[in-house]
Chains A and B, each alone.
Chain A
Amino acid sequence: MGPVINDFSIQVATVNGSGSQTANGILLRAIFQMGIPVSGKNLFPSNIAGLPTWFTIRVSRHGYLARRSASEILVVMNPETAAEDVAAIGPGGVIVVNDQIRTPPIPGDRFVYHVPMAKLLEPITTDVRLRKLVINMIYVGVLAELLGIAEDEVERALDAQLAKKPIALALNHRAVRAGWEWAKSNLEKRDPFRLERMDATARSILIEGNTAAALGAMFGGVTVVTWYPITPSSSLIESLGGFLEQHRRDPRTGEASYAMIQAEDEISGIGMVLGAGWAGARAMTSTSGPGISLMAEFAGYGYFAEIPAVIWDVQRIGPSTGLPTRTSQGDLAFVHGLSHGDTKHPVLLPASVADCYAFAMKAFDLAERLQTPVFVLSDLDLGMNVWMSEPFAYPEEPWDRGKVLGEEELAKLRKFERYRDVDGDGIPYRTLPGTKDAKGVYFTRGSGHDEAARYTERPADYVATMDRLARKLETARTLVPPPAIEQDESAEVGLIAFGSTRWAMIEARDQLRAAGIPTGYLLLKALPFTAHLAAFVGRHRRVYVVEQNRDGQMADLVRRELPGEAAKIRSITHYTGLPVDARSVTDAVLAMEGAPAQPPLAQGAAR
């Protein structure tokens, strides 16, 4: 077997709360600094300490960042899951074991390296608590030697991560070195896996989607942020809080140009956002599925009263304790129609960290332009995992505050009616409380209002309101981010995806092309659909909608949008709670296209 260079996955099986996250982060970054495309997936439990956690690092010279269903290299650090972890490594795979952990017998066609981790730690620290944390650095050193991670890159990654903690830094350096030197003098390299420097990451950044969203919100000019803690959304707000604290306070007086409020629940969270939006602030909240459920009534209120609001849903699996640390795209249909009555909300669908950044700004512009709640549907995979990306660009456009009448504009008007469709686009004009001109005053309430915001239960008034709101949604089609389309003139098969599913799609399309099936591709970026959808579907003989939920929610929406094309639409779903992998998509398409399934590219059982 020849060498396998820059194309494999490493799985570290450990226990949460053990400090392995620092070690894994250093591995990831050191490989990234070698110029090799890399991605990391953290599979963690909803727990503070003591339960199994897996971190998977994928290196791909092709630049594929999606999760793979199998890994070639395993680091065994958790006795509880050792048997299961070892069984998942196929022939030819590598198993690095802390020698104090017992594993079942391992077949001879795996490469096993037993590392005396505890013994190596003895000269480093006598503190039992510190040993527990620092032991992870031993496998960093061992893997570095084994795979050929450049020494200076590990040192740099370590320095960067722990620069502010000199004592911890020194300790970690020694532990890495101990693993390294032990491996150098004791391990006989027998496996084929190697890392070699490339030049594919020089300008790139590494960032989590939630951090990217936080940056976008700050540069988008957010002024009111509310939240209630919930995984996997909390880190969005916490990093936003950090950025705002640093960049949006007057350094002299400490005065803040923003309010950040931890609400008592998500109902209150969205209520505060609606109050602030009504009063003219750029307001947002972020939550996950259970919080979205609580926001349902207010979401409808915002829709009917026409109040801007931005709501992030970093999707997980719920309700209750559900699988709160597993990813999903299961909130799509619920969020799009959230609330009772005839409601429909614009929904933005970021597919990358760059989208998270850009849509965090765009969502405010849309919410204020359309005077309605706008939802941004991220997910745990996008939000909480680390992604490589091009650096983000500074916004060159000013913000769009929408149709807000100031004193001067009001003074020129003979009369003001809050809900009149003056421009024919379904979007009325609004005024803000505090407006001096008495003709700008209005009273806000739910759906029972006429054009002048007076209470009414007249059928004709209600119908007029509903029809105008429908017109407004038509206008939204022209304002939301358009899909990204990749044409292939020879393709009879079209693929549609959204959100974090994108990463598996890139790879699946290459696999399908290799199997003789070229595909066209449309990556949806928003609801309502834009005109691109009909054209794309019309161009293909068959269209697969790929998504991470059980029932094919997006496929349903596409069929409803294009009833004449419904027979063409097929659904491919993935709902294990783990990010979708390319092979699952490829195999599903091949099976439905009647082509023989290819032998699996990766060996080993799927986790």
Chain B
Amino acid sequence: MSDPTGARNRAGLTRADYDGAKTTLCPGCGHNAITGGIIQAAFEAGLEPSKVAKLSGIGCSSKTPAYFLGRSHGFNAVHGRMPSIATGVSVANRELLLIGVSGDGDTASIGLGQFCHLVRRNVPVVYIVENNGVYGLTKGQFSATADVGSTQKSGRVNELMPVDLCAIAIELGCGFVARSFSGDQKQLRPLLKAAFAHRGTAVLDVISPCVTFADHEGSTRSYAAVKEHDAPLHEIDFVPYFEDTSVDYEPGTTREVEMPDGSSIYLKKLAADYDPTSREHALRAIHEARAERKLITGLLYVEPDLPPFEQELNLVETPLAHLTLEQVRPPRRVLEEIMEELRTGRAPGGVS
């Protein structure tokens, strides 16, 4: 995956410096395309690999952090529990950029609770769901995101309502919610870069066809079906704060979303105008699209200024992991005072 030009980014690194180990997924798997997108986006964003931690749960998707950013620490957790690991890592070291990769089984079934609470807390993590509607590693069972009427290879039909992770994230107050398609790198890459710049939970639900268990006729997540129903909301361009690019758009054609770090997201109107800053609008668009059997993709909802979890906790600037003993062990006087309170019966400094 190396870049033949050998160009260096602002971190002084080449694209190859963001590669990971060789993928072990099936050839043609949508997840590999997402891995490529992450590598390219990380390179273009000039991420410092040592400042990144990669996290995942269990499943095909959750294997992928081994395949990108080989110079970053990685944590392949247990099934459905990446959000709690991410929360712990984030509060321990607020300087890290967390990239979490999960799947539809990992997030929408076993991990749905943790996903919801991660979003509620607004833990800063780029949360990528590689969504194919099936369990791949266990050979093709439906996941909770499978559409009503979608079939398994055996012909079995799913009749249960799908879990829409984007709608849930928006409902729970997530400040960055996007849906994309592994086959649309032009859209995925700027979305990833914008997510890297977002301080808070950024959810990217990326439809990623499973070539082995869900690429047949009858599956609503086959390449053919996704291409047919994909309805991008806008063309997306991301301009990071460190790039001195002036962007000219015809007035009335483009929306600009400014990120707190000075970067900008440009959303160029396609068929209809789409306002990604309205929660109601976004939820309505998701519901209408489902009724019309359309797969809307793009930046569904954005609210860049929500306070991230570390701000909610009012954490010190220094990562908790780096605090010295002197900073975390109160002085002798404090213990002596508490002992005196416990001796005399005055309520201790804690809860009375």
Contacts and interface: CB of A to CB of B under 8 A. Distances in A.
Contacts of B349: 242-243, 246-247
Contact of B88 (A265, A273, A443): A273
Given A259-B91, A267-B84, A204 B343 contact: yes
Nearest to B336: A394
Contacts of A112: none
A35 to B, nearest CB: 13
B335 A298 contact: no
B5 interface: no
A240 B330 CA distance: 13
B344 to A, nearest CB: 6
Interface in A372-418: 391-392, 394-395, 398-399
A243 B317 CA distance: 21
A188 interface: no
Nearest to B20: A443
Contacts of B88: 224, 226, 271-279, 281, 283
Contact of B92 (A248, A256, A280, A446): A280
Contacts of A230: none
Given A221-B329, A224-B320, A444-B73, A275 B85 contact: yes
A164 B76 CA distance: 51
B85 A29 contact: no
Contacts of A268: 81, 83-84, 87, 113-114, 117
A421 B310 CA distance: 36
Interface in A433-491: 433-436, 438, 441-446, 455
A163 B330 CA distance: 26
A273 B311 CA distance: 19
A239 to B, nearest CB: 4
A257 B335 CA distance: 18
A258 B320 contact: yes
A103 interface: no
B325 A399 contact: yes
A142 B87 CA distance: 55
B316 A255 contact: yes
A379 to B, nearest CB: 20
Contact of A256 (B49, B73, B315, B335): B315
A267 B81 contact: yes
B50 A435 contact: yes
Interface string A290-304: 000000011001000
Nearest to B320: A223
Nearest to A432: B321
Which bracket fits the contact residues of B?
35 or more
B96 A434 contact: yes
B139 interface: no
A400 B252 CA distance: 62
A124 interface: no
Interface stretch (A212-220, A541-549, A581-589): A212-220
Contact of A205 (B96, B325, B339): B339
Interface stretch (B64-72, B166-174, B260-268, B292-300): B64-72
Which of B92, B320, B338, B349 has the most chain A CB atoms closer than 10 A to its own CB?
Answer: B92
B314 A256 contact: yes
A426 B239 CA distance: 50
Contacts of A226: 88
Interface string B325-344: 10111101011101100111
B335 A392 contact: yes
A207 interface: yes
Nearest to A279: B92
A205 B342 contact: yes
A280 B321 contact: yes
Contacts of B339: 205, 391-392
A88 B71 CA distance: 71
Contacts of B50: 434-436, 438, 441
A446 B77 CA distance: 8
Nearest to A255: B316
A430 B72 CA distance: 14
A281 B75 contact: no
A203 interface: yes
B162 interface: no
B92 A276 contact: yes
Nearest to A235: B351
Dominant secondary structure of chain A at its interface with chain B: mixed
Contacts of A431: 73
B200 to A, nearest CB: 16
B350 A240 contact: yes
B345 interface: yes
B73 A275 contact: no
A250 interface: yes
A264 B310 CA distance: 18
A221 B334 contact: no
Which of B51, B75, B86, B314 has the most chain A CB atoms closer than 10 A to its own CB?
Answer: B75
B350 A246 contact: yes
Contacts of A270: 84
Contacts of A157: 345
B36 interface: no
Contacts of B78: 297-298, 301, 446
A522 to B, nearest CB: 30
A150 interface: no
Given A259-B315, A434-B50, A444-B74, A264 B89 contact: no
A428 to B, nearest CB: 15
B121 to A, nearest CB: 8
A419 B352 CA distance: 46
Which of B49, B55, B345, B347 has the most chain A CB atoms closer than 10 A to its own CB?
Answer: B345
Contacts of B310: 259
Given A160-B345, A280-B93, A257 B334 contact: no
A130 interface: no
Contacts of A249: 314
A54 B339 CA distance: 28
A257 B327 contact: yes
Contacts of B325: 221, 398-399
B348 interface: yes
B247 interface: no
B91 A224 contact: yes
B344 A264 contact: no
A549 B304 CA distance: 54
Nearest to A202: B343
Contacts of A297: 78, 81
Given A205-B342, A219-B335, A211 B73 contact: no
Given A276-B89, A432-B321, 13 more contacts: A33-B345, A163-B347, A219-B330, A221-B323, A249-B314, A255-B316, A256-B315, A268-B114, A272-B85, A274-B85, A279-B53, A394-B332, A433-B53
7 contacts: A205-B342, A259-B310, A259-B320, A268-B117, A276-B320, A301-B77, A443-B75
Interface of A: 29, 33, 156-157, 160-161, 163-164, 203-207, 211, 214-215, 218-224, 226, 235, 238-243, 246-250, 254-261, 263-265, 267-283, 297-298, 301, 391-392, 394-395, 398-399, 431-436, 438, 441-446, 455
